Amino acid sequence: MKITKSILTKIIKEEILLEMMSNQRMAQMRKIISDDSEEADMTLRNKREFEYVAHHGGLNKFRAEKGIDLSGAYLAGANLEKAYLKEAYLKEADLKRANLTGADLTEADLTEADLTEANLTGANLKKVYLGLTNLQQANLKGANLEEANLEYAYMEKANLTGADLEGARLLGANLKRATYNSETKFNTGFNPEDHGMVLVQEDEEDSE
């Protein structure tokens, strides 16, 4: 198709309009975050919006769009407590030391994401894809990992006390020195000691 001057002008106008709309949304988000009394009625649509809100401490006032694409997002150290990330794409996302306590990550894709030292206490990770993901020293206490794909995940020293791993796929996962307790649920026939995991007692947990 030949690009005429009129078509080019139309394309430029559309790009300018889209940029203006984006800037308006960002301004609205800043207002909601800064005003404690502001009631939010916005859904985060893309990685740019999500990263901005997450790093400015206002995620509790917003809801991410179901299936949002956050591939490669920089969310290290971000407070994502109780975040709604169902079916989100988080491939290769940087989530080091992020707070994901109570977050809903059902069926999310975190392939090759970095969750080193992340706090996933009580998070819903049912049917999540965590293949090749770095979960070293991550806190997964009480997390729901039913039917999760953890193949070749790096989970050394991860806290799995009270976690539910029934139906989880653990082929090739590195579980050396990962901790578990009597409440941790595994697949029938799975022996955690064969994978280098460490059993901790209640008194040891309380002292941590």
Task: Give the tokens for residue 5.
Answer: 């001057």
User: Among residues 129, 127, 125, which one has the least CA distance to residue 112?
Assistant: 129
User: Among residues 122, 56, 134, 127, which one has the least CA distance to residue 87?
Assistant: 127
The pLDDT of residue 15 is above 90: no
**Mean pLDDT in residue range 94-120:** 98
Task: Give the tokens for residue 208.
Answer: 């941590």
| pLDDT above 70 as % of the chain | 83
The pLDDT of residue 172 is above 60: yes
| pLDDT above 90 as % of the chain | 68
How far is it, in rounded angstroms, from Cα 118 to Cα 100? 7
Tell me the pLDDT band of 11, cut-offs 50, 70 and 90: very low
pLDDT for position 9: 57
What mean pLDDT, rounded, does the chain reach? 88
User: Among residues 148, 98, 103, which one has the least CA distance to residue 122?
Assistant: 103
The pLDDT of residue 126 is above 70: yes
pLDDT for position 16: 46
Question: By the 8 A CB rule, do 95 and 135 touch?
Answer: no
Alpha-helix residue ranges (DSSP H) falling in the chain: 5-34, 47-55, 202-207
Q: Which residue has the higher pLDDT, 70 or 43?
A: 70
Q: What angle do CA 88, 92, 98 make, to 5 degrees?
A: 75
The pLDDT of residue 158 is above 50: yes
Orientation of helix 5-34 relative to helix 47-55, angle to 10°: 20
pLDDT for position 58: 79
How far is it, in rounded angstroms, from Cα 192 to Cα 114? 23
Task: Give the tokens for residue 9.
Answer: 């002008």
Answer yes or no: pTM beyond 0.95.
no
* Strand ranges in 12-171 using DSSP code E only, listed in sequence order: 43-44, 63-64
Burial class (CB in 10 A: 0-12, 13-18, 19+), 208: exposed
pLDDT for position 92: 97
Q: Which residue has the higher pLDDT, 109 or 60?
A: 109
Task: Give the tokens for residue 1.
Answer: 């198709």
Q: What is the tens place of the pLDDT at every residue in 55-90?
A: 888 788 888 999 999 999 999 999 999 999 999 999
User: Among residues 13, 34, 35, 16, which one has the least CA distance to residue 24?
Assistant: 16
Residues 6+ apart with CB under 8 A from 106: 86, 87, 124, 125, 126, 127, 128
